[in-house]
């Protein structure tokens, strides 16, 4: 009889711990809902994506940069993560660096100047690059 009570008690404890709403341990209902809506994390829906992609493709950016791997220059993801959480003036600053070129921040390889870009277009490229933050 004791054995029966112990087994019953253990089964009841396991059943009460294993119930729930089907989410994994440590996962909230909100995070489960976000995982089901990939459009919320789809950077291609951001207006800055299309404009930046077109400008990046029309210029020589892909010669030295890729989205998630270093070529001659840093990846877009590395740039976005490095400057994440910095002030809003960083967009203007980085756009000027795209236009004038430079070196030293990412190593000795010099970034080619792009004087044909307007400040507005260079800022659009920076905003596009920032979309790859934490990817």
The per-residue pLDDT for 34 is 45
The per-residue pLDDT for 87 is 84
- Domains annotated on the chain, with CATH: 39-135 (1.10.760.10)
Contact 34, 40 (CB under 8 A): yes
The per-residue pLDDT for 6 is 60
Measured distance CA(53)–CA(42) in Å, rounded: 14
Measured distance CA(38)–CA(55) in Å, rounded: 26
Q: How would you write the pLDDT of the chain (135 residues) with one tens digit per residue?
A: 555 546 555 554 545 554 444 444 444 444 444 444 445 578 999 989 999 999 999 999 999 999 999 999 999 999 999 998 888 899 999 999 999 998 888 988 899 999 999 999 999 999 999 999 985
């Amino acid at each position: 009889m004791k054995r029966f009570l112990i087994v019953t008690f253990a089964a009841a404890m396991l059943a009460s711990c294993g119930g729930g709403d089907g989410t994994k341990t440590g996962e909230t209902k909100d995070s489960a809902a976000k995982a089901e809506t990939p459009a919320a994390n789809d950077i291609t829906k951001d207006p800055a994506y299309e404009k930046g992609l077109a400008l990046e493709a029309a210029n020589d950016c892909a010669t030295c940069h890729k989205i998630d791997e270093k070529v001659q220059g840093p990846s877009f993801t590395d740039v976005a993560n490095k400057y994440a959480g910095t002030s809003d003036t960083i967009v203007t600053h980085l756009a000027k660096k795209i236009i004038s070129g430079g070196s030293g921040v990412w190593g000795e390889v010099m970034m080619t100047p792009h004087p044909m870009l307007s400040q507005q277009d260079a800022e659009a490229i920076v905003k596009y690059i920032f979309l790859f933050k934490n990817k």
